[in-house]
Structure 1
């Protein structure tokens, strides 16, 4: 498990972020940035972040706090994988790191030990139809290899932890849950709305998600058509980086006669997105598969009512803080949206329920648990009651 460290000494940790294309990988980027940013400045770890060009510009606070090692070439997934097996392996050996943390779900075939890997979900195994043939074949081999090689596996939810254990059989390797830190202070900020189309004089619901097939935007469009037929004045605002379903969704909105009610705004600055969270009648999240679902937590922190799919990790995360609907129940989504749009008391009730729920989610300290895990893997941790990871495992 690595050379033992004296109690209280600082251990050196390399964090592989070569998979993180700023602004392109959605929730996994938000998770990684939040978790690393939450590590206390006086924590007994020294991080080296292995990153792509452009990372420092996208995340200047992390760049100021930690050493960055920027890969000399990083365009294209195939080249990034090659660099993980060559350049990254050499960099880790040269630095003599105590632990290497691969935060993107896979561990290279060659490289330094000991290893921690974060598996955000195993959708490539559960739903391979959502992936191209090359990526599907690669991940079918890489995910089991990564879990088998790791000295510890991190997942982002209990749902994901169960799926890892059921599908990948980690044997004696510890599999622990570390969700993203919850920043309750953001719920009190009064961010400006900014210059946003569409006309926000109309009530709207917000879906902050890239249009991948499993995100299931289509059910919202079909629910929107039902609501339009019933005379309910509501629109759908979708945000996120360009996705593979964008053109098809625009076409479907036109076919259903709800094109003017469907607004795809792309990736927005944080201040603008904050404003949308606060003005929306609800955040709607009909995804069929989520390893966690950070946007629903963002909504609850900001007092925005949540309607989410009863699928994946979403029931675990939302708990009693929002309404759950079958992801393919068009009538159910129409009814849930219509009920919130037309009832201010219901919106206040679900807003309060969401705030109560995030208070529960904010009870732990994932960053403290991460540091404790690094220490354990490096050989200097404590399996006793003072170890927050041991306490988490004892509750599992």
Structure 2
């Protein structure tokens, strides 16, 4: 069978460093490596709250696609694009849903309701839906009325580290996530403020994706007087991030929600114990033996979990071994692309 040709429609800059963009960039690359003729269709960056111009451009571009070429449509667009316009697309549609838009942290209630209704209506138009986790699949079947047989889980791939891990002294606590309310960096800062009596330093890597959130975090860092022990590194090159993973003693992310959480796979691959929150897909992504999960928005609980790992050498070593085993067992990006390719090849014309 000739691999199915497709168009992959993604809003904004495909080089954006977030889990969703990394996933789609690698999926695009690996589908091409498998022989699929995949065109990258760049849509407006304003989604999921599109300007009128970006909405018109998106609808016009999607309607003009060759019906013989499948359409993979990124979730930031899929959950917000005009339903009537999407219904006019002739190409068979594969929705790429990392997590439903209405589950984003801090949304205005009216916008949350709009996104829920729009995404639910649009999902009824998809021939197939790709999701990164069973957690997201469950939400789509139970809350968005998507039949389970139309959903395929394509778990993100992961890279195997090439460096050697040599933990720094004092112990390095590493966190990776964009500066956005959902990532819970404010909770992590409050937790670290309660651990002043222990030896550690912390680095938080991630771009200032939300300017207001970044300003709030800078103020909180100053208020808590943690500037001498906590560094916001911003976006850094992958070799520099690899160096931090190699120096870290544990990985901590106080996230309020994750549809998967690819950075956990990266931490596992480096053999790092993980401290995070019992929310979204995190319990399904982080093995129990490799991580300590606490409720979201619970800085004292987060601090206790971090302290346990920092002070209990046996526990830390057991968690490191479990993390390394789990990281080694995770799929590669070629595996993710094969699953997506099977979905493309099995597509039938639009209903």
Give the distance between the partners of 1:41 and 1:287, measured in 2 at CA. 34
Is 1:38 aligned with 2:25? no
Q: Of residues 192, 202, 209 in structure 1, which corresponds to 2:177?
A: 209
Give the distance between the partners of 1:87 and 1:35, measured in 2 at CA. 21
Is 1:27 aligned with 2:1? no
Match of 1:131 in 2: 107
Residue ranges of structure 2 left out of the alignment (5+ in a row): none
Give the distance between the partners of 1:350 and 1:176, measured in 2 at CA. 31
Q: Of residues 322, 326, 334 in structure 1, which corresponds to 2:291?
A: 322
Q: How does 1:280-291 map to 2 (within 5 A)?
A: 280-291=248-259
Give the distance between the partners of 2:285 and 2:328, measured in 1 at CA. 12
Q: How does 1:45-124 map to 2 (within 5 A)?
A: 45-51=36-42, 74=44, 76=46, 77-78=50-51, 79-90=53-64, 92-93=65-66, 96-107=67-78, 108=81, 109-110=85-86, 111-122=89-100, 124=101
Give the distance between the partners of 1:46 and 1:22, measured in 2 at CA. 18
Match of 1:4 in 2: none
Flag the 1:23–1:345 CA change in 2: closer, same or farther, 3 A. farther
Contact 1:322–1:353 at 8 Å: present in 2 too?
A: no
CA shift, 1:308, in A, is: 1.8
Give the distance between the partners of 1:352 and 1:201, measured in 2 at CA. 20
Flag the 1:191–1:33 CA change in 2: closer, same or farther, 3 A. farther
Could you list the per-position Cα deviations for residues 300-338 of structure 1 after superposition, in whole angstroms to 9, with x for gaps in the alignment? Answer: 111222112111100101123322222233222212222
**Matched residues, number:** 334
Is 1:235 aligned with 2:213? no
Match of 2:331 in 1: 362
Match of 1:63 in 2: none
Flag the 1:105–1:256 CA change in 2: closer, same or farther, 3 A. closer
CA shift, 1:376, in A, is: 1.0
CA shift, 1:273, in A, is: 0.5
Could you list the per-position Cα deviations for residues 101-138 of structure 1 after superposition, in whole angstroms to 9, with x for gaps in the alignment? Answer: 1123544423233110011112x3345x6235786465
Local SS of the residue matching 1:311:
coil
Give the distance between the partners of 1:165 and 1:369, measured in 2 at CA. 20
Question: What value does the CA root-mean-square deviation take over the aligned residues?
Answer: 2.7
Match of 1:340 in 2: 309
Contact 2:165–2:245 at 8 Å: present in 1 too?
A: no
Give the distance between the partners of 1:25 and 1:136, measured in 2 at CA. 25
Local SS of the residue matching 1:236:
strand
Flag the 1:125–1:42 CA change in 2: closer, same or farther, 3 A. closer
Contact 1:159–1:313 at 8 Å: present in 2 too?
A: yes
Contact 2:161–2:269 at 8 Å: present in 1 too?
A: yes
Give the distance between the partners of 1:240 and 1:305, measured in 2 at CA. 20
Local SS of the residue matching 2:40:
strand
Give the distance between the partners of 2:299 and 2:278, measured in 1 at CA. 13
Give the distance between the partners of 1:169 and 1:289, measured in 2 at CA. 21
CA shift, 1:349, in A, is: 2.1
Match of 2:155 in 1: 179
CA shift, 1:172, in A, is: 7.0
Match of 1:64 in 2: none
Q: TM-score when scaled to structure 2?
A: 0.85
My pick for the range that moved more, 319-328 or 134-143, is 134-143
Local SS of the residue matching 2:96:
strand
Match of 1:374 in 2: 344
Give the distance between the partners of 2:99 and 2:162, measured in 1 at CA. 31
Give the distance between the partners of 1:338 and 1:155, measured in 2 at CA. 35
Give the distance between the partners of 2:179 and 2:12, measured in 1 at CA. 18
Flag the 1:134–1:266 CA change in 2: closer, same or farther, 3 A. farther
Give the distance between the partners of 1:40 and 1:358, measured in 2 at CA. 26
Match of 1:155 in 2: 131
Q: Of residues 226, 230, 250 in structure 2, which corresponds to 1:258?
A: 226
Flag the 1:104–1:172 CA change in 2: closer, same or farther, 3 A. closer
Could you list the per-position Cα deviations for residues 238-280 of structure 1 after superposition, in whole angstroms to 9, with x for gaps in the alignment? Answer: 1111133121122122222323222111000000011111111
Give the distance between the partners of 1:288 and 1:295, measured in 2 at CA. 15
